[in-house]
Amino acid sequence: MSDQENITPEVENEEQLAQEQVDAQATTEEAADDLVAQLQNEVAQLKEEVLRAQAETQNVRRRAEADVEKAHKFSTEKFARELLNVVDNLDRAMAMSPDDEVVKPFLEGIEMTHKSFTDTLAKFSVEAINPEGHPFDPELHQAISMVDAPDAEPNTVLNVVQKGYTNHGRLLRPAMVVVSKAAPKVDEQA
């Protein structure tokens, strides 16, 4: 008898079972590989979502810190704007002529009060804008009139009627100014 004929049905069943086990194991490995790939994709997506959430949280924190900083920086803005009238009145009082001996001590007191007041405003970053002789800047100045000034460049601030003020670089009140205008063109045909 040949080797083929010696194989009994039991051996055939065992071989068939072994082949089925190998096939099942291969199928299980493929399914496991698919599951691993799927889980790796899901982990990558979750990592990306976590990174985005962390970045968003960090952006919200930065924005909140910036808002708090601005609130601290500009919290005195309305108060400072109201005090500017006091500074203006002190400036007007100092413009009086000290011809009378009775007035001189009052003027000295007003000057000291003015200096103390402006120093206090400077501590809180309230700074005066006094642009006399500088070019007109519509973001910082408000022109109340324009006059002919042949000896000045056009659009130059000739006179400051009322000082302007900034707080931490933000405009509180524009300076009211008189600006030079360009000389009228002479008609050559006349």
Q: In this model, does residue 24 exceed pLDDT 80?
A: no
Q: Are residues 81 and 64 in the same domain?
A: no
Above pLDDT 70, what percent of the chain? 89
Q: Are residues 93 and 136 in the same domain?
A: yes
Q: Are residues 44 and 108 in the same domain?
A: no
- Choose from 47-56, 63-72, 79-88, 105-114 the range with maximum mean pLDDT: 47-56
Q: In this model, does residue 13 exceed pLDDT 80?
A: no
Segment 77-91 mean pLDDT: 90
Give the chain's domain count: 2
Helix 103-123 / helix 77-94 crossing angle, nearest 10 deg: 160
Q: Are residues 137 and 62 in the same domain?
A: no
Total-model pTM: 0.61
pLDDT on residue 112: 93
Of 31, 49, 73, the position where a domain reaches its end is: 73
Q: Are residues 94 and 135 in the same domain?
A: yes
Residue 12 falls inside a structural domain: yes
pLDDT on residue 6: 56
CB atoms near residue 108 (< 10 Å): 11
Nearest CA to 90 out of 63, 55, 68, 117 is that of: 117
Of 73, 92, 125, the position where a domain reaches its end is: 73
Can you give the residue range of the structural domain that contains 60?
A: 8-73
